[in-house]
A and B are shown apart, each in its own frame.
Chain A
Amino acid sequence: MEAFRVMVRARTLEDKLANLYKAGGRLVGGVYLGKGQEAYSAALGIQLRWQHDILGPFIRDQAARIAFGEPPLDPMRTYFGSVRGPMRGRDGNVHRGRPKDGLPAMISHIGSMVSLVSGMLFARRMQGRLGDAVGAVTLGEGGTSTGAFHEGVNLAAVEKLPLIIAVTNNQYSYSTSNDRQFACSDLAERAKGYGIQGRNVDGTDLIQCVQAFDEVVRAARSGSGPQLIIGHTLRLTGHGEHDDSSYIPESVKKSPIGRDCMLIAEQQILEHAWMNDKEIAEWKNTCRADVERMVATAMKEPAPDPFKEPWRALSTSELCEGQWTV
C-alpha cells in the first residue's frame, strides 16, 4: 500500500511536470519522466531508509526518490531553478541530489554512478560505520552497454559491497530498441559473469516488484554482496517530454509489457481491499493538491542571480582563478 501511495504521488507530480513543459516558458530545461516504471521504482525506494541507506537514482526514479525521503520540494525547486533547491540553479531537473543524506546527484554519463555509490559504501565500511546500510544504483537497459557499468559492477563484486544494481529494461534507450542494444536474451544472466546474484521481475506488477526488492535488499543487507535485478516494463512516455516516442510500435504498446503499472497496482490494491475506491480517490486528490502547492511555492522563489553567483568551482576559494571567470 505504501508503494502504491508513492506511485500515485510520483505519477501526479510527473503529470504536472509534463503539463508545465507543454505549457512552455515556466520550467528551465527538459522534463524526464518515469511513467510506466513507478511500480519498480517505488518498490525499490520503500526498502531504503533516508540518511541510512544510499540511493543513486537515474532519470526515471521520481517514485524511488519520494519513497526514499527526498525533501518534497526538491523536484519542483530544481525544475524551476530556485535558489532554495539543492542545486540552486547550477544544475537542473533529474540531476538533483543531496549526497550527504545518501542521495548523490547523477551526472549524465550513464553507468558512472555505479562506482560512485560503491565508493560511498566502501568508505563507510572502512570507517566502521556501514552497519546494515545498503546502496542502490539504478539505470536503464541501455546503461548496461557502458564500460562504466561493467567496471562499476565488477569493482562492487570484487569489494563485496552491499549494492543493489536495479536495471529497468523499458525496451528503449531513447529511440534505440533492445535488438540494437545487447545480444543476450537475459540481462540478469550477466550477474553470473560478475560472480553476483541476478534475477528478473515483471516491472508492470507492483506486488511482484515489492516481493522481489524485499528479497534483493534483504540479501544485500545480510552480506550476500551485490545484487543485480532487471525489471521489465515499457517506457510509457518519450525519452523526455520533447520526444513523442512515435518509434514505439503499437504492437509493443498493446503487448503485456506495455501495461500501465499504475492500473495494475490499483486493481491489486482493490482486490486485496488494502484501500477502497473512495480512499484511492481521496489520496489522488491529496497528491494533486500537494503538487499544486509545490508548484506555487517553487514558482515564487527567487531565481539565481548571476551577479551574486560567486563563480567558484573549488571549495578552496583562494585557489580559484577568479580573474578568468568574469
Chain B
Amino acid sequence: MSLTYLEAIREAQYEALRRNPDVFIYGQDIGQFGGAFKATKGLMNEFPGRVLDAPISEDAMVGLAIGAAIEGSRPIVEMQFADFSSVGFNQIVNQAATLYWRTDVPCPITIRLPSGGTAGSGPFHSQSMESIYAHYPGLVIVCPATVEDAYWMLLDSVELDDPVIFCEHKFLYYHLKADSFGERDLPIGRARIARPGRDATVVTYSAMVHEAVRAADELQQDGYQVEVVDLRSVKPMDVDTILASVARTGRLLALGESFPWGGVTAEVVARVVTDGFHLLDAPPMRLNSKDTPIPYHTQLWKAHRPTVATVTDALRRLLRY
C-alpha cells in the first residue's frame, strides 16, 4: 500500500472528525466537491453537517472559526491556497493570535494553508506564508515535510488548544509517498534529523527538505557528509537540535522556499550566531527564493526557487570556506 502526503491530510481530517464531535471543517469548495485538491474528498458524506462550503470570504471564515472556538468547537479552516490567507490576515494575527493572551480563553483553530510553488502556478497560487505568521506572537506554525508528519502533525494541530497555521506543501501532495503513517513520535516543537552528517548542516523545512537531502546525496559522491535538519515546526523553533547539529558540523546553510527578506532562514541564522557563534567554522549561509513575485513559466519558476543544483552549489561554497 502506498499513501500520499495529500491522503495523509485527508485521513488525518477523517480521524479528527471521527474522534471529536467538536471538530468541523470550513472552507471553499470542500463539501460535495471535496476541495480544490481533494483533501476533504468524501468527508462531507461521512460527517454530515460538519464539512461545509464557505463563501469566498477568508476574513469571515477565520472570524467564524474563532467565534466557534470560543464556544468549544475545534474548527479546521481550509484556505484554498495559502496566498488567499492574506485576506484573512487580520483575523488570524489580531483576533486568533491575541485571544488567549487578552482574555484567557484559548483559541483551538487549525488553518490549513496549501503552500509553496508548483510549476505554472504563478504569483498568487504559489506563496509560502510561514514567515509572515511566525512573526506574530500567539500562533504555532508547522510545515510538515513527510507523509507521516502531514498525518500526525495535523492531528496534533487539531488537538492543540492554540491557533495553528498548518503549512502543507502542494508540491508534495502527489509525489511523496509512504507505506504507512507510522507512529506518532515527535511532538510539535521538535525538529528531526532527516539525514545525518558531519561536514555541514542544512536547516530547512517543508518541500526543501527533499531538495536538501538530494543535494546531500550528490555531495556524498565527493566524500562530504551533509546533515539535514527538518524543522517540522518553524514556530516554536527547536534551537537545541539546530545548535547540536552545528556543533557537530561547524557549518550552517539555512534553506527555505519563501522570499529572502527576513523570515525563517534569517531567524535560524540569527539564533545560531547569537547562541552558537563559537560553534561556527565558516560564516553561515542562507538560500531562499529570489526577491521577486513567483513566476508563472516553468523555466523562470525553477530558477526562482532553490533547487538541488543551487543547494548543492551553495553547500560546495560553504564546505570550501
A contact residues vs B (CB 8 Å cutoff): 86-87, 90-91, 95, 97-100, 104-105, 107-109, 112-124, 126-127, 147-148, 151-152, 154-155, 158-159, 312-316, 318-321
Contact = CB atoms under 8 A, between A and B. Distances in A.
Nearest to A95: B102
A94 B87 CA distance: 26
Nearest to A159: B64
Contact of B103 (A105, A109, A154, A159): A105
B72 A109 contact: no
Nearest to A108: B94
Interface string B48-83: 011000110111111111111111110100000000
Interface string B283-306: 000000000000000000000000
B27 to A, nearest CB: 13
A123 B100 contact: no
Contacts, number: 149
Contacts of B63: 112-116, 118-119, 148, 151-152
Given A109-B90, A158-B55, A319-B236, A314 B162 contact: yes
Interface of B: 22, 24, 49-50, 54-55, 57-73, 75, 87, 90-91, 94-95, 97-103, 105-106, 137-138, 140, 160-162, 188-189, 235-237
Contacts of A321: 235-237
B162 A151 contact: no
Nearest to A120: B67
A223 to B, nearest CB: 18
Given A116-B64, A119-B66, A123-B67, A319 B100 contact: no
Nearest to A156: B60
A314 B73 CA distance: 18
A119 B96 CA distance: 13
A136 to B, nearest CB: 13
A119 B162 contact: no
Given A105-B102, A151-B57, A112 B91 contact: yes
Q: 6 shortest A-B CB distances, which residue pairs? A: A119-B67, A115-B63, A119-B64, A123-B68, A151-B60, A151-B57
A107 B67 contact: no
Contact of A313 (B67, B101, B237): B101
B59 A117 contact: no
25 contacts: A90-B101, A97-B103, A107-B95, A109-B90, A115-B91, A116-B66, A118-B60, A118-B67, A119-B64, A119-B68, A119-B69, A122-B64, A123-B67, A123-B69, A127-B71, A148-B91, A151-B58, A155-B55, A155-B61, A313-B97, A313-B101, A314-B100, A316-B160, A316-B162, A319-B160
Contacts of A115: 57, 59-64, 67, 91
A314 B102 CA distance: 11
Nearest to A146: B59
A119 B60 CA distance: 9
Contacts of A318: 189
Contacts of A99: 70, 99, 103, 105
A84 B188 CA distance: 34
Contact of B70 (A114, A120, A314): A120
A268 B101 CA distance: 45
Contacts of B59: 112, 115, 147-148, 151-152
A313 B100 contact: yes
B176 to A, nearest CB: 26
A127 B90 contact: no
Contacts of A319: 140, 160, 162, 188-189, 236
A126 B162 contact: no
Contacts of B105: 99-100
A91 B100 CA distance: 12
A117 B63 CA distance: 8
Nearest to A130: B71
Contacts of B137: 313
A105 B99 CA distance: 8
A117 B67 contact: yes
A2 to B, nearest CB: 28
Given A114-B60, A155-B64, A127 B73 contact: yes
Contacts of A147: 59, 87
Interface centre among A121, A127, A147, A319 (most CB of B within 10 A): A319
Given A90-B102, A119-B68, 17 more contacts: A95-B102, A108-B94, A112-B90, A112-B95, A117-B67, A118-B67, A119-B65, A119-B66, A122-B64, A123-B73, A126-B68, A147-B87, A151-B59, A155-B61, A314-B100, A315-B100, A319-B189
A287 B105 CA distance: 32
Nearest to B68: A123
Contacts of B140: 314, 316, 319
Contacts of B22: 127
A131 to B, nearest CB: 13
Nearest to B94: A107
A127 B72 contact: yes
B72 A154 contact: no
Contacts of B66: 116, 119
Contacts of A86: 103
Interface centre among B58, B64, B69, B70 (most CB of A within 10 A): B64
A239 B316 CA distance: 61
B98 to A, nearest CB: 7
A313 B99 CA distance: 9
A119 B63 CA distance: 7
Nearest to A129: B71
A316 B91 CA distance: 20
